[in-house]
Amino acid sequence: MTADPDFVAAKDRLLEATLPNVLFDGWSLAALKAGAQAIDLPETQIAVLFPDGGGEAALWLDDWADRRMLDALEAIDLTALKVRERVATAVKARLIVLGPHREAVRRAIALKASPWGAAKAAEIVYRTVDAVWYAAGDTATDFNFYTKRGLLAAAYGPTVLYWLNDSSEGAADTFAFLDRRLADVMKLPKLTDGVKRAVKHLAGPFEFLRQARR
């Protein structure tokens, strides 16, 4: 089912107004109320846009970031880059989008570690790595589809954690870390059939998530 663009835009608007308040109030109803007040949105609309409150808004941040990443990539000629460079460029674009909201990301990750957020965490990671590979021009439909997404997830997660504590200018250290991680994980499918067996367990849940997005 395709989401109503106006509804998505309204959720984005409230999210963006709420983000500055997360630093002080966390992903809470108080933060959402302050965001709604900043854009003259009636408080009654908060429950319409985010029925589960601040936790749901925290999960929406990932959806928002994925779409902003894809928007940013439209201005870049990815066809001139090698596949690994395309993937790295996409991940970097996403982190740049999230750059002003690092503390909000940190707190959102903490929520995903809770029983409530953990149920959604796999879906969120899948959606992000799928969007990255889509932007990179991936057309795989066989087992490689799952292998690529599984291996990218293995590189993406540690990169985000590194980024959260990176004080280097322009997140240069994070981007170097990402490049090293991608260089490592993208060698794996070329090594042995054992790698396929190691990643094979991902096909089941990834297929479920793939079907769920249709």
The domain locations on the chain are: 59-212
- Inform me whether the pLDDT recorded for 168 exceeds 90: yes
Spatial separation of the C-alpha atoms in residues 41 and 54, rounded to whole Å: 16
Q: What is the dihedral of CA 178, 180, 182, 185, to 10 degrees?
A: -130
Q: Mean pLDDT for the chain? A: 87
DSSP H stretches of helix in 26-112: 29-38, 44-49, 54-73, 83-98, 102-112
Give just the sign of the alpha carbon dihedral 184, 186, 187, 192: positive
Max distance between CA atoms of the chain, in angstroms, equals: 58
**If pLDDT is split at 50, 70 and 90, which confidence band does 2 have?**
low
184 — pLDDT class (breaks 50, 70, 90): confident
Whole-angstrom distance, CA of residue 79 vs CA of residue 36: 41
